Structure formats: structure tokens, C-alpha cells
Amino acid sequence: MKTVRVKIRVTGIVQGVGFRPFIYRIAVKNGLNGYVRNRGDAGVEILLEGSEERVKNFLRDLKEKKPPLARIYEVITSPLKGKNEFESFTILKSSEETELSGSVIPPDIAICDECLKELRDPENPRYEYFFITCTNCGPRYTIIEKLPYDRENTTMREFPMCNFCRSEYTDPLNRRFHAQTVACPKCGPKVYLTTKKGELVNSEDPVREAGKLLSEGFIVAIKGYGGFHVATATTMDEPLIKLRRVKHRKQKPFAIMARSLEATKSFAEVSLREAELLTSYMRPIVLLNKSEDYYLSDLIAPGLHNVGVMLPYTGLHYMLFDRVEDPAFVMTSANPPNQPIIKDDDEALRRLSGTVDYFLFHNRKIAHRCDDSVVRLHGIHQVFLRRSRGYAPAPIVLREKAKHCTVGLGGELNNTGCVLLGNKAFISQHIGDVENVETRDFLEKATKHLIRLTNSKVEAVTCDLHPKFTTTRLAQNLADENGWQLIQVQHHHAHIAALMAEHDVKEIIGISCDGYGYGSDGEAWGGEILFCTRGELGFERLAHLQRQPLIGGDLATRYPLRTAAGILHKKVDVEDWLMQHRERFPHGEKEVEVVLHQLEREDNAIMTTSCGRVLDAVAAVLDVCYERTYEGEPAMKLESIAVKGEDILKLKPIIANDVLNTTEMLLEIFENRGKYSKADLAYSAHAYLAKGLATLAIEKALEKNVKIVGFSGGVACNRILTLIMRKIVEDSGLKFLVHEAVPPGDGGLSFGQAVIVGFSNF
Ligand code: ZN
Ligand code: ZN
Ligand code: FE
């Protein structure tokens, strides 16, 4: 039997997922000597000595039996010269070597079944320990300060293991062998309850005490893996009224955490696929339709047909429900307006003591903040509204390798950063609205952290075309500082490019619809039909929605009655109608007079082709929503009304010179008010837009001989529009693509920008 010596380097998600213990086990099983160790580039290095046959078996096991959370991107095997020097197989101390790139640490992982069982087992030393974890579960991305993933490089370094934990940590047969987050009540992080001023509340059982307080209607800030949540009861109105008042959130829906899947089914409809998502180790917030007998407070998701629900994902979360009967608690990210989610204790005390009644702290630091992810289903298709905890920073793996390592900084709202390296795109956690210094810094930090983690040698940075976005300035600075190429990318092109990259498509007719994006001509775009080709920095704008005036500029976005008046004014006298609605304007009758005056001078108005604004206008005409207090509110509420409707008006799309008319549609809705139900009219408006956009796209696809039509942009979160378009496009024999891996909204922009530039020949 020939003996060999080989060095194997593995890249992928191979640190923090029980990979070294796994390697140890398969090496020993195959009778091989040598070592395994983590590397500073997030990869793993293995040295094997033994027969050729055994090495072959080892490599087979490596691929076939890898731990469930591990992802292997590359296995590089190189023969070594020299005599055998190992007499056994061992796990060595990590090396700092960083020559390989493209590996990354895993996302945070929800508590596993075995840990959950131990949490409930009175015989277990970690019985009722809120921070129970193992190699298969627990925080990862949010605790790692630098690589390699060793305890001293994480925020667990402050908790030296006790003898018991160490004995498990060093036992190759134990589930916690080399689990960096291993801890127990004796040696691990402690949890404690305080008043809103930070004074300790003496309690034997702070977690369950907090659960009781929540159940009684108190507001409690709870420190989790990636930041603080603000929590309260879901079955009473009073705490929600208070929470909305102090958080200045008039209408924006709150996410809730249900005690169990069973409890969720008592107030929401849960399909099989939705149940799978809810219970997956990513544990995202899933938007579920409220059921017929929805009995939670209407103040959780006012005016919406659905509600965002997640299941507990840490021991602490499970224990919150132990001593109470509540089906769910509100569990919303603790972030002050336009600020990132709060992660540090002192910041929480400073910023939240006016909001909450109590704090449930633990004394482990959070290295990186990470909001919860949000998904919904369109039929069988999963749509990301926010891709964050549980997913980031695991990469989107592309079929082909990019030509340039590129960083995308996204747009402004709901932003993310992205590092494209080879065939992998690492998208950051949710950053939020990058309008001020705090979110800007968060974006910069998160992106630089990703570059470091993946060991990327960046060549180019890309951002939106908008000259005044904070991210545009940041891109400029980074380009100057590092000598990177700077390339700006048009907003709607980036949306479609993201879709193309995700599906490995070379050309597409893209329907790119959202609220606002800076057009190539400087105008406000948002209802675009584009022809895009992979590898091209440019694109062709083939068609769009009718340009409509924004009466009062940004005010029209906030108060959709203004947009509606701007459209209707061309056809009817809107004075009486506006006067009837004067209470809906912040300055009443006076403001209506100003609006009427502005309507006369319409030529000065800012024009937009935005699809979002048209939906807003329909919402205003149908008395569904008069003020946009959060992004997408009027359109979301309109969809919620339309869910129960049908296409009663059956309007035929009016298309001339590659423009879809929207004035006539709004007029029809306006004139049929009272004649038909709101639901039917709301649905008819959706049907008109979907039919019109799909018809235009099909027409253009035939002209260009392209076989694929895709739908992207924030409006693609709308289920009704998506389903109608899909039917029309597929009936015409073309393929219809939507996002599955990245958000259709602006959270997907950084990825779209990066693939445009990374695959181009700039
Ligand atoms: Zn576990
Ligand atoms: Zn311990
Ligand atoms: Fe957008």
C-alpha cells in the first residue's frame, strides 16, 4: 500500500459550523494521521498522512458527510514531500495565514433541537440556561471580531470556560467539541433585569420575570444576538398605543414573535412552505395572512391583511413564554428613527429609557449588529423583504466568476453593502436608510468587515447614479482612499442586473418598478421597461409609465392626495373633491388652496414615471391611505384591500409611443367610486398596471428577440401584480423571472451594482 502525504485546503463556510471536529472524526475513522486547523482567511487546512486509498475515502467523506451548516466552495489538494511525522490526528491551534480568499463565517443560527431538549432537561447542567448553544447553533456573525474563528477573537473571550465546559470542548465525541460559544450557567454570560433607569431588579429568574412583565402590558427592551428588540404584549391595545406614541411610529407594522407554530396558526394562515420557513434555522420573520379569526390587537399591523411573525430562536426567547399564556409578543428592532439597531448596553439605556419600562440585559457584547430577516411567499416563490440575520453574510453563489472584485454600496433606503469576489457575492446584513452619519458609518464598517473576512482585493467600487446620496459620497471617498475605480450605476438597471445575476441570464427585458430612482436623464424614474445585457455597463430604456407631476415635490410622496390631484386635474375639476378632504392635509383648507394653485402651474412640477406613486394615488382616491408614514405604506394598504377584490373594471391598457397611460386608469377608479367596492376597484387598478407592464414587456421581448421577462424593484414585493404579470408573460410563451435569493427592493441594489461592474470590461 502506497503511503502519501497531502495538504488539503478547504474554502467555504467551514469555521463555526463544527467543521474541524468533523474532519477529526473522519480522519480518525479512516485511520489517517496529521492535523486540521482554522486559517486566518476563514478557510480550513488539513494535513494527512496515510495510504492513498484512505485519503481517497477521506475526501469522499469530506464531501458526502459534511456538517449540515457547512458550505464547501473549494477543496485544494497538494502532495507534500518528506517523511511522515505524525503519529495521530489532532486539532491544532489556528494559523493566521490568509492567502486564500472567499471563505466566510456563517450567519447566526437558531437554537438546535438538541440544545432545546437540554434547555428543558432538569438533569442537564445547562437546564434553563438562556445562552445554551453548540457547534450546530448559536450566534456566529454577530460575535466574531476577527478571524480565525477562535474564542479569543469573539466576544465570548470574556467568559473563560469552567471545567465542565472545557471537558466537552476538548472531547472529540461531544457535540460541543471546539464549539466557540460553549458556556453554562457557571461560566457563561449572565442575564439580568433592570428598570428603565438601569437599576437592577432582584429576580431569581429574570427571563421569565420579563415574560410576565410583557404579558402584563409592560414594554421591555430585550438584548438578543444581533441587537435589542423592544417587546410587549400583542393582545391588548394600551401598550401598543404607548409604544407607537413613544417610537413615533403611527402605522408601521410591528413584527411579532409567536410562542410556537401552533400558536401562530391560531391567528394567521400558515401554509406548509411558510411553516418550513418559520421553523428553519434562519428563523426569519414571515409575512402571514391574518386568519378569519385574527384576535391580536389591530394596532400591530394596522390596515394590512398580513402580519410579520417569527418563532423563538434563542433559549432566552423560548423561556420568555414559559410562565405566561400569551400567543405572541411584539418583537420589533430597537432602532431610533433613521438609526441602526441598538447593540450596546449603554446606548440602549441612553436611547430607550424613554420608551421602555424595563431592560432584559445580558453581559455578552455584540460585535456586529444584525436585524431580523423578513420574507413573504408569492405562491411557491420566496420573496425577501429584508435579507439579514440567518442569511448574511453567506454568499449568493453565481455560475460564473466576475472579472473584477467589486464593492457595491447600494442606494439610500433599506440599504445593504455587497462584496463580489469571483463567483460569490457577499451581501451585508440590513443596514437601513443611509441618510445620516450613524447609518453611513454602519454601512462602511459592515462593508469593510466583509472585505476583511473574505480577504478580498478590491478593484472597483460602485454606487447609485444619484449625485446627492450619502452612499455616492462614501463611494467617492473609498475610491480616493484606496485607489479603486469608481463606477456609478443607474438604479433600475441595478435592480434588473441583480435579477439576471441571480438566475444566470445573459439578456432580459426587465420590468423595474419602485417608488423612486434617479434616471439617466436626471428625472425621477420608477416604472421602467429596460433591455439589459450581462457585461454591459449601459442598458436601453425601452418604455415606461406615463410621466406624472409630483405636486409639491417630496410632499406628494408623503401625502398621496397631492399626486392623485396632479393626475386627475388633467381631466376633471378636483377642487370640490380636495375640499371634501381638507382635513387630510396638515394645514387644512389653506393647504388645499396652495395645492390648487400649484396645479395651475403644473409645468413647474417635478415629473415621475414611478409605479409606486401611481399606486399611492389609487390608495388616496379610494380613501385607503392619505399619509405615508413609512415606506410603501399606501401601496401596501392598497394591496391589502385588493386581496379580496376582482378585476371588475377590466380596463384595457392604453399604450402609445412606448408609454403606459396611467391618467385614464386613475380617472376610471375616481369615477367608479361608490359604484363598486373598494376591493374590486383596488384590484382593477392592480390588474391594469400588471397587464399594461406585461404587455409592453412582451412586445419589447418580441422586438428584441429576447425570451425572458423579469420583474424587480420594490413594487415586485406586491403579490397581486406579480401573479397577474406572471400569468400573462407565461401565457405568451416567455419565461418570467422574479427574485428568490436577494430582495427585489433596494436591499438588492448593492448586489445588482456589483455584478454590473464586476462582470464588465471597465
Ligand atoms: Zn445546539
Ligand atoms: Zn461552563
Ligand atoms: Fe428601487
Cα 126 to ligand 1 centroid, rounded to whole Å: 12
| CB-based contact 306:376 (threshold 8 Å) | yes
Q: Which ligand is nearest to the CA of 136?
A: 1
Cα 482 to ligand 2 centroid, rounded to whole Å: 45
Q: Which ligand is nearest to the CA of 743?
A: 3
Residue 67: other Cβ atoms inside 10 A:
15
Cα 660 to ligand 1 centroid, rounded to whole Å: 54
Residue 11 reports pLDDT greater than 80: yes
Domain that holds residue 384: 374-498+746-754
Q: Is 171 inside a domain boundary?
A: no
Residues 551 and 478 grouped into a single domain: no
**Total domains, the chain:** 4
Among residues of the chain, what percentage have pLDDT more than 70? 100
Examine the fold and report which residue of 317, 339, 362 is the final residue of a domain before the chain moves on: 362
Residue closest to 108 by CA, chosen among 416, 446, 442, 392: 392
Cα 384 to ligand 3 centroid, rounded to whole Å: 14
Residue 522 reports pLDDT greater than 80: yes
Cα 746 to ligand 3 centroid, rounded to whole Å: 5
Residue given cell 507534500 in the structure block? 80
Taking residues 338-361, report their average pLDDT.
Answer: 95
Residues 425 and 343 grouped into a single domain: no
Measured torsion, CA atoms of residues 651, 657, 659, 664, in degrees rounded to the nearest 10 = -40
Residue 82 reports pLDDT greater than 90: no
Residue 498 reports pLDDT greater than 80: yes
Q: Could you report the per-residue pLDDT of 421-464, keeping only the tens digit for each?
A: 999 999 999 999 999 999 999 999 999 999 998 999 999 999 99
Q: Which ligand is nearest to the CA of 69?
A: 1
DSSP 358: E
Cα 410 to ligand 3 centroid, rounded to whole Å: 10
Cα 150 to ligand 2 centroid, rounded to whole Å: 17
Cα 208 to ligand 2 centroid, rounded to whole Å: 22
CATH code, domain carrying 460:
3.30.420.360
DSSP 311: -
Taking residues 284-307, report their average pLDDT.
Answer: 98
Cα 319 to ligand 1 centroid, rounded to whole Å: 16
Q: Which ligand is nearest to the CA of 187?
A: 2
Among 128-142, 164-178, 277-291, 630-644, which stretch is predicted with the lowest mean pLDDT? 164-178
Residue closest to 329 by CA, chosen among 385, 267, 281, 275: 267
Q: Is 166 inside a domain boundary?
A: no
Residues 550 and 449 grouped into a single domain: no
Cα 150 to ligand 1 centroid, rounded to whole Å: 18
Q: Is 98 inside a domain boundary?
A: no
Examine the fold and report which residue of 362, 382, 402 is the final residue of a domain before the chain moves on: 362
Residues 317 and 450 grouped into a single domain: no
Give me the residues near ligand 2 (ion), CB cutoff below 5 Å. Answer: 162, 165, 184, 186-187
Q: Which ligand is nearest to the CA of 126?
A: 2
Residues 286 and 213 grouped into a single domain: yes
Cα 154 to ligand 2 centroid, rounded to whole Å: 17
Q: Is 186 inside a domain boundary?
A: no
Question: Beta strand pairing status for 328-333 and 524-533?
Answer: unpaired
Question: Beta strand pairing status for 228-233 and 220-223?
Answer: antiparallel
Return the pLDDT at 337.
Answer: 81
Return the pLDDT at 96.
Answer: 85
Taking residues 38-47, report their average pLDDT.
Answer: 92
C-alpha span between 206 and 597 (Å, rounded): 61
Cα 520 to ligand 3 centroid, rounded to whole Å: 14
Cα 71 to ligand 2 centroid, rounded to whole Å: 29
C-alpha cell at 58: 477521506
Examine the fold and report which residue of 58, 91, 124 is the final residue of a domain before the chain moves on: 91
pTM score, whole prediction? 0.95
Q: Which ligand is nearest to the CA of 175?
A: 1
Q: Which residues contact 678 (CB under 8 A, 6 or more apart)?
A: 622, 623, 624, 641, 645
| CB-based contact 90:35 (threshold 8 Å) | yes
CATH code, domain carrying 86:
3.30.70.100
Residue closest to 219 by CA, chosen among 358, 362, 361: 358
Cα 283 to ligand 2 centroid, rounded to whole Å: 27
Q: Which ligand is nearest to the CA of 189?
A: 2
Cα 490 to ligand 3 centroid, rounded to whole Å: 10
Q: Could you report the per-residue pLDDT of 618-666, keeping only the tens digit for each?
A: 999 999 999 999 999 999 999 999 999 999 999 999 999 999 999 999 9
Residue 377 reports pLDDT greater than 70: yes
Cα 166 to ligand 2 centroid, rounded to whole Å: 7
Q: Is 525 inside a domain boundary?
A: no
C-alpha cell at 215: 404579558
Q: Which ligand is nearest to the CA of 167?
A: 2
Residues 256 and 201 grouped into a single domain: yes
Cα 182 to ligand 1 centroid, rounded to whole Å: 10
Residues 346 and 424 grouped into a single domain: no
Residues 639 and 712 grouped into a single domain: yes
Cα 747 to ligand 1 centroid, rounded to whole Å: 30
C-alpha span between 515 and 527 (Å, rounded): 8
Cα 494 to ligand 3 centroid, rounded to whole Å: 9
C-alpha span between 727 and 573 (Å, rounded): 37
Among 331-345, 458-472, 486-500, 559-573, which stretch is predicted with the lowest mean pLDDT? 331-345
Q: In sequence order, which ranges of 601-748 are alpha helices (DSSP H)? A: 611-621, 633-642, 663-671, 678-704, 719-731
Among residues of the chain, what percentage have pLDDT more than 90? 91
| CB-based contact 538:520 (threshold 8 Å) | no
Return the pLDDT at 95.
Answer: 86
Q: Which ligand is nearest to the CA of 528?
A: 3
Residue closest to 223 by CA, chosen among 195, 193, 178: 193
Residues 412 and 494 grouped into a single domain: yes
Residues 215 and 311 grouped into a single domain: yes
Residue 363: other Cβ atoms inside 10 A:
13
Residues 358 and 405 grouped into a single domain: no
Cα 409 to ligand 2 centroid, rounded to whole Å: 42
Cα 347 to ligand 3 centroid, rounded to whole Å: 32
Cα 657 to ligand 1 centroid, rounded to whole Å: 60
Split at pLDDT 50, 70, 90, the class of 415 is very high
- For the chain, the helix, strand and coil percentages under 3-state DSSP, each to the nearest 5: 35, 20, 45
* Mean per-residue pLDDT of the chain: 96
DSSP 745: S
168 to 188, 307, 683: CA distances (angstroms): 14, 42, 59
Residue 603 reports pLDDT greater than 80: no
Cα 151 to ligand 3 centroid, rounded to whole Å: 40
Split at pLDDT 50, 70, 90, the class of 1 is low
Cα 669 to ligand 2 centroid, rounded to whole Å: 66
Cα 716 to ligand 3 centroid, rounded to whole Å: 10
C-alpha cell at 149: 474563528
Q: Which ligand is nearest to the CA of 495?
A: 3
Question: Beta strand pairing status for 524-533 and 460-464?
Answer: unpaired
Q: Could you report the per-residue pLDDT of 559-592, keeping only the tens digit for each?
A: 999 999 999 999 999 999 999 999 999 999 999 9
DSSP 119: H
Cα 1 to ligand 3 centroid, rounded to whole Å: 62
Residues 358 and 378 grouped into a single domain: no
Q: Which ligand is nearest to the CA of 179?
A: 1
Chain-centroid distance of CA 598 in Å reads 39
Q: Which ligand is nearest to the CA of 114?
A: 1
C-alpha span between 397 and 542 (Å, rounded): 30
Q: Which ligand is nearest to the CA of 168?
A: 2
